């Protein structure tokens, strides 16, 4: 159904990109993990912010650029669609901007895909295609299920915000159930349905996301960062981090900018 041709990670303050001319551009899966940037597709100006995802259909011309003074961080997967690509409705549109309830899960999977690709792991292309296809299928399912009631969506967003506010300590389904005035099991099932992740998986994702930025942009040690984001055991933090991102914490520390 799809053939992955490249995946890259951009962490840029100044950026400009223009698609190949003549309608030969590959399809693009673009996920912004930090900051803001702009894309122009035809007469449409598209602002991407943290957590946004942009799908651009194969053959559609575009250009994109950074916003002055804004550092942005994004993953871009380029792929070609086979003759059966129409089975995924989102891939038939020239472009679609998505604000998914599964953003953290999708970012985790995208990081894994990129890590395998960058490290040239065995069968990285095949695994990358499988991960990308999984994410596209979930996004199409989410679009089809827009019938999720507004109340359900609000409950999920409230729980996500609660976790983001309290991720440094243990968060349980009992707490979340009480927070939205529902039973613990109902809260856990609703959260999984809307986000694609269990409560604990989401907590880990939020912690790791914070740790990534601290590893690159702070002066703290790995042990100090692990403790800050909620892990008492550094070894456990490193295992969770590697499982989530496909990379070690120390590899991110090497990307710290030089200090004067």
For residue 23, the model assigns a pLDDT of 66
Mean pLDDT of all residues in 15-40: 89
DSSP bridge partners of 231: none
pTM above 0.95, yes or no: no
Measured between its terminal Cα atoms, the distance across the chain in Å is: 50
Mean pLDDT of all residues in 248-253: 93
For residue 5, the model assigns a pLDDT of 94
pLDDT tens-place string over residues 167-220: 999 999 999 999 999 999 999 999 998 888 999 999 999 999 999 999 988 999
Residue 245 CA to chain centroid, in angstroms? 11
Residue 211's CB: how many other CB atoms inside 10 A?
26
Is residue 86 predicted with pLDDT exceeding 80? Answer: no
Mean pLDDT of all residues in 104-116: 92
Inter-residue contact 195 to 157 (CB < 8 Å): no
Phi, psi (deg, nearest 5) at residue 100:
-85, 145
């Amino acid at each position: 159904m799809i053939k992955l041709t490249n995946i890259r990670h951009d962490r840029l303050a100044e950026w400009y990109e223009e698609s190949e001319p003549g309608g030969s551009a590959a399809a693009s899966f673009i996920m912004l993990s930090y900051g803001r940037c702009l894309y122009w597709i035809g007469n449409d100006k598209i602002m991407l912010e943290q957590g946004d995802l942009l799908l651009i259909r194969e053959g559609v011309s575009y250009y994109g650029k950074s916003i002055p003074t804004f550092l942005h961080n994004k993953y871009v997967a380029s792929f070609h669609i086979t003759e059966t690509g129409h089975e995924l409705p989102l891939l038939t549109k020239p472009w679609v901007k998505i604000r998914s309830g599964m953003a953290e899960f999708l970012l985790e999977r995208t990081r894994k895909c990129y890590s395998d690709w960058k490290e040239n792991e065995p069968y990285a292309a095949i695994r990358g295609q499988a991960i990308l296809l999984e994410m596209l299928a979930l996004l199409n399912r989410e679009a089809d299920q827009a019938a999720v009631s507004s109340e359900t969506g609000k409950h999920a967003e409230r729980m996500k915000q609660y976790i983001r506010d309290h991720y440094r300590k243990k968060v349980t389904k009992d707490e979340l159930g009480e927070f939205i005035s529902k039973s613990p099991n109902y809260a856990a099932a609703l959260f999984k349905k809307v986000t694609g992740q269990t409560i604990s998986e989401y907590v880990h994702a939020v912690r790791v996301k914070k740790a990534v930025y601290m590893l690159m942009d702070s002066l703290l040690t790995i042990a100090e960062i692990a403790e800050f984001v909620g892990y008492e055991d550094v070894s456990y933090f490193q295992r969770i981090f590697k499982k989530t991102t496909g990379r070690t914490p120390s590899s991110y520390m090497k990307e710290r900018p030089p200090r004067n």
